[in-house]
Amino acid sequence: MNPEKQLYLNFDDYKKVSEPHKRERAEAWRVAIGLQAVDGLQVSDYLKQTAYRHIEGEITIDEAREQVKQYYISKTKHDDDDEDKSEADMVSGNIAKLIGSPSFTFSAAGVMAIHRAIFEGVFKHAGTLRTYDITKKEWVLQGDTVMYGRWQDLRMALDYDIEQEKQFDYRGLSMVEIVEHLAKFISGIWQTHPFMEGNTRTTALFAIKYLRSIGFECNNDMFEQHSWYFRNALVRANYKNVAKDINQDYSFLIRFLRNLLMGEHHELKNRFMLVNPPEEWTKRADSGQAQDKYGTSAGQVQDKLYLDNPNIVRLVQTIGEQQLSVKDMMHSVGLKGRDNFLNLYLNPAVSGGYLRLLYPDSPRHPRQKYLLTVKGQALYHELKKLETK
């Protein structure tokens, strides 16, 4: 490896480079490596070097994954932590490939496919539902366990949660209400715990894919830097103990998602989630400002819905609850030049996650139209509220 390029072994440095494909590859690897922390795993230096070569375009993602696999097959000197590092390395490569792929199936079979893709070559049971009931002693619960789904009901539970989400109507909801709903949906998928191992990593990838599919551009640094917090927040969202006067608490997961989707800056500390913690562990920094129930002060809020691009705002207001063709939208905004409309209005709105195709699998459909995504609907209704004030 060229020693002059060692600087970029810190993947954060790729946030500064001009080539978008390198930034995207580096982000995928950062998230993939960061998610290993949910199971207390760390990747090897060899994996980091291989990831670097993929980011630089020297090898493909599949070549990177194969090189990692062969590294452990051919290794002659074995260390005590080889088994853990092998899992972390191979899973990281699989996750990096998944994040870089736009494909996604929103179904129980899709959840199983994600698990299979993540743990291919690692677990023999990759993509297979568990066949026994489980409990797990959790640090955040002082050794108690969440009540996970019965193994006989796993497929039914996944089908039910996903079908309910497909039918859920986001129209008219504020961004805060959308985040609160998403917290309950994601925590429900995790609580089913359909697999023998790897449930949190699977839930994280499923959440990233789903959020992208409904228009949100996730700040994936959250999964990289706070994957252990994400897991503990899911635990607290699904733990109830009436005898100890403890109810399910979604607030920790909502704080994570508000940081992820709304650009807020909640302090995410695992010790805040411990049940019955020492008093000194519960203290948070107090800004001295009025806060909402999640501890957000007005100065913290950086809602991504309020844009500097007036063209996107105008297009979102134009479409509203309708489904419009390109010709209809051009007429509504008063533009005759198709290229200008595409470059200044439509493309930024689509790439920003505010608009989607009515027939996404057939871009050249003769009756193709555009409508708002969930993110676009949230912006539309926030703008309507502002008009009435």
**Would you state the pLDDT for residue 243?**
92
Residues 8, 42 within the same domain = yes
Q: Which of 85, 101, 117 is the last residue of a domain?
A: 101
Residues 91, 179 within the same domain = no
Residues 244, 362 within the same domain = no
DSSP states of 167-202: H---TT--HHHHHHHHHHHHHHHHHH--SSS-HHHH
Residues 43, 129 within the same domain = no
Residues 144, 181 within the same domain = yes
Residues 90, 2 within the same domain = yes
The residue range of the domain holding 42 is 1-101
Residues 228, 364 within the same domain = no
d(CA 183, CA 204): 12
Q: Quick one: DSSP state of residue 30?
A: H
At residue 371, φ and ψ (nearest 5 deg) are -145, 170
Residues 140, 246 within the same domain = yes
Residues 118, 143 within the same domain = yes
**Would you state the pLDDT for residue 295?**
56
Q: Is 197 exposed, middle or buried (0-12, 13-18, 19+ CB in 10 A)?
A: middle
Residues 64, 116 within the same domain = no
CB 222 within 8 A of CB 259: yes
**Total domains present in the chain:** 3
Place of tokens 């806060």: 291
pTM of the full predicted structure?
Answer: 0.77
d(CA 292, CA 289): 10
CB 199 within 8 A of CB 234: no
The list of the chain residues with pLDDT below 50 reads 1-8, 285-290, 297-304, 306
Q: What is the CATH number of the domain that holds 381?
A: 1.10.10.10
**Would you state the pLDDT for residue 131?**
97
Tell me the two tokens of residue 59: 């090898």
Residues 131, 264 within the same domain = yes
Residues 314, 297 within the same domain = no
Strands 370-372, 355-357: pairing kind: antiparallel
Q: Which of 269, 304, 339 is the last residue of a domain?
A: 304
Q: Which of 47, 81, 101 is the last residue of a domain?
A: 101
Q: Is the dihedral of CA 205, 40, 247, 149 positive or negative?
A: positive
Q: Burial code of 236-251, b = ≥16 C-beta within 10 A, e = fewer?
A: bbbbeeeeeeeeebbb
